[in-house]
Amino acid sequence: MQHVREQLAGALSDPGPDAATLVAATTSGQVSATEVVQRSLDRIVELDPLVNAFSIVLAEEALTRAAELDAGLRDGLPAGPLHGVPVAVKEEIDVAGCVTTFGGRGNSTPAPRDSEVVRRLREAGAVVVGKTRMPEFGQWPFTESVDGGLTRNPWDTERTPGGSSGGSAVAVATGMVPIGLGGDGGGSIRIPAACCGIFGLKPTRGRVTADPMAHLWWALGTTGPLSRTVRDSALVYDVIRGNVSTDRFTCPEPATTFAQAADAVPGRLRVGWWTAPATRGLRPDPQHVRAVEDTVAKLDSLGHDVVRTDPHHPDPTLAFVPQFFGGIRAEAGLVEHPDRLEPRTRAVIRLGAWARAPVVEGAMRAGQRLAARVNRVFEDVDVLLTPVLLSRPPGVGRLAGGGPLRAAARSMPMIAYTALWNVTGNPACSVPVGTGTEGLPLAVQLVGRFGDEPTLLSLAAQLTNAGD
């Protein structure tokens, strides 16, 4: 066990180059895409048995693609913005030739084509090296499933890495890949980013296509990357953002690229902060309160106007829950073998039998009304600052031996600060801000106006750079 801790500590302290650095190296000829991908695969062989981040590793396919990229560069073909960058993809996202398992056993036929975001990543020169673990249908903020077992936090393997994009977060934190693709329907990018000490931005609703689906959990879900740096996240979003004709939700393009925003120093911003969760009766861990307060002091020192605010946010539960049930039912209705779904998932489907189309549409309208009310706070501030999590990352096995009601109760401290922004559709990100007393990462959440990821990226980059 001591050897495992030392091995993972070494990986966390030296995760290797970020995506931006790799692109500079592969496009200048300092290193080949094949060498970069081979190093990623070697690291997966070394570390994944300790943390269980990957469900499948596509070694042969990845090396073949890397060799094609190298040959193209020698032949004078233009290099894409992610040339030779190894990428891991969450199980719920289609990769041609791989079964889209949604974290379970309900499907058995490989996807006939890439999802649009994966197609765009490949076109930009990224190399898909494998797919990553998630709880079945991404229902819970813990990366645990009957089929995939327990995914472990590399900072402490007896703790959860969060979820549902926990496999991607662990793969990035340990340097197995610089980029992991995830999804966020209630905090599933931000929660594992916070647990694993990396950066994760949930974009504005409609910013990224849901292809091949028309939507992800109706108005709640969206796809996006997890990364170690803000700039890497921005680079990936500049590749994958944009819509296709089948998307139910769309978002106007911003005036600047995300990479430009991440490189820009923000002007003087008005930042409102608070630490009380939207769900009444819950109290945050004192370490998370201190992390917010320390960030307030840093923002003040950087010249921003920081004020404590009391937004009296309404509880999002009535808008969130019908869409949650409706989303699970919709995805479960698409699998080939519903009899193979986990007993807990089948219980969720039965519990949510009432969440049919009229109810879900009503919940989305309720979410729009809630969003209009919540977003009034942005008349007075440019960015909001809150904790990401209510509690410290709990032990692994949170879903063992219990049904959906117990799982929901155990999930509440994880989503208390995140789910609101899925209901409203605002962009929100988890920014690492050091470690706590037990050696686990600390993080804060930044929330922006609808469509204003550039301000969040600029401020998050300033915060993380100021901590160097």
pLDDT interval class at 405 (50, 70, 90): very high
pLDDT for the residue numbered 373:
93
Whether 65 shows a pLDDT value over 80: the answer reads yes
Q: Where does residue 429 rank: exposed (0-12), middle (13-18), buried (19+ CB within 10 A)?
A: buried
Mean pLDDT estimate for the chain: 96
Q: pLDDT exceeding 90 applies to what percent of the chain?
A: 94
Whether 76 shows a pLDDT value over 60: the answer reads yes
For residue 453, give both structure tokens.
């990821």
pLDDT for the residue numbered 467:
67
The arithmetic mean of pLDDT across residues 13-24, rounded, is: 97
Active site residues: 90, 164, 188
pLDDT digits (tens, 9 = 90+) for 132-162: 999 999 999 999 999 999 999 999 999 999 9
133: which residues sit within 8 A by CB, 6+ positions away?
A: 52, 53, 54, 55, 91, 103, 143, 145, 148, 151, 166, 167
Helix (H, G, I), strand (E, B) or coil at 58: coil
pLDDT interval class at 4 (50, 70, 90): confident
pLDDT digits (tens, 9 = 90+) for 294-316: 999 999 999 999 999 977 778 89
pLDDT digits (tens, 9 = 90+) for 323-377: 999 999 999 999 999 999 999 999 999 999 999 999 999 999 999 999 999 999 9
Whole-angstrom distance, CA of residue 205 vs CA of residue 451: 8
Whole-angstrom distance, CA of residue 420 vs CA of residue 185: 10
Whole-angstrom distance, CA of residue 408 vs CA of residue 397: 14
pLDDT for the residue numbered 279:
75
Q: pLDDT exceeding 70 applies to what percent of the chain?
A: 99
Instruction: Answer whether 134's CB lies under 8 Å from 103's CB.
Output: yes
pLDDT for the residue numbered 57:
98
pTM for this predicted structure: 0.97
Query: What is the set of domains in the chain, with CATH numbers?
Result: 2-466 (3.90.1300.10)
pLDDT digits (tens, 9 = 90+) for 234-273: 999 999 999 999 999 999 999 899 999 999 999 999 999 9
280 φ, ψ (degrees, to nearest 5): -70, 150
The arithmetic mean of pLDDT across residues 178-189, rounded, is: 98
